Amino acid sequence: DSGVTQTPKHLITATGQRVTLRCSPRSGDLSVYWYQQSLDQGLQFLIQYYNGEERAKGNILERFSAQQFPDLHSELNLSSLELGDSALYFCASSHRGGRADTQYFGPGTRLTVL
Amino acid sequence: AQSVSQHNHHVILSEAASLELGCNYSYGGTVNLFWYVQYPGQHLQLLLKYFSGDPLVKGIKGFEAEFIKSKFSFNLRKPSVQWSDTAEYFCAVNARSGGGADGLTFGKGTHLIIQP
């Protein structure tokens, strides 16, 4: 157990819909990262937050957005869902968000878009 | 931008065999290097990481990796594998400084199966 929690574990929805994935970082960690894992693209970095502020963006689509709340939990919002958005979405956390910091990964949320 | 290449997508070994998984990265500047493992049904866990200093890095569970700067490589090794090492192994990199995201760039992974 990494100490990072993600809910829900599984999510099944239809094209065009909007979903919210939730992540709670390890106690004491200030930075949260979101990654998408799909069969064709592999593990891709989406976005990073540090202490409530966006710090870095990766390959995140405009239909996707995220935020980090004052209690440091984070939510990833996916809208206008397409079949290709079906993937495993991981959240990771690190203490200070530095590039040398170890990122601790959660168990993931498996999203299926039908 | 950086990229990571893992040469072997699937590796099958017998218990007690030696393991070496290849990882090459592409980036012009200095990098931090990581190996993560994902056991069946579990989350990604850090095996080891390299930032600077001794290029031979020792990690958990008897794994080690060697950073060879001239070859842009960070290969993972274990002298004698066990059945419990069956898992997916990911090499990852981020740029130590300068532009670019703080997130990790991952290779496609190597699926390792250890036969009893």
Q: Minimal Cα–Cα distance from A27 to chain B, Å? A: 17
E strand or H helix at A13, and its extent? strand A10-13
CB atoms within 10 A of CB B61: 12
Which pLDDT value is given to residue B95?
77
* Region of poorest pLDDT, from A49-53, B39-43, B81-85: B39-43
Contact (CB<8Å) B106/A58: no
Contact (CB<8Å) A99/B108: no
Average pLDDT over every residue of B98-105:
70
**Nearest in space to B32 (alpha carbons), one of B12, B4, B61, B6:** B4
Is pLDDT of B100 > 70?
A: no
pLDDT mean across residues, chain B: 91
Helix, strand or coil for residue B61? helix
Which pLDDT value is given to residue B97?
65
Contact (CB<8Å) A56/B44: no
pLDDT tens for each residue of A23-66: 999 999 999 999 999 988 889 999 999 999 999 998 899 999 99
- Chain centre to alpha carbon of residue B13: 17
Contact (CB<8Å) A99/B107: no
Of all residues in chain B, the one with the smallest CA distance to A3 is B43
Q: What is the DSSP string of A46-107?
A: EEEEETTEEEEE-S--TTEEEEE-TTS-EEEEE-S--GGG-EEEEEEEESS--TTSPPEE--
Of all residues in chain A, the one with the smallest CA distance to B41 is A107
B105: contact with A, CB 8 A cutoff: yes
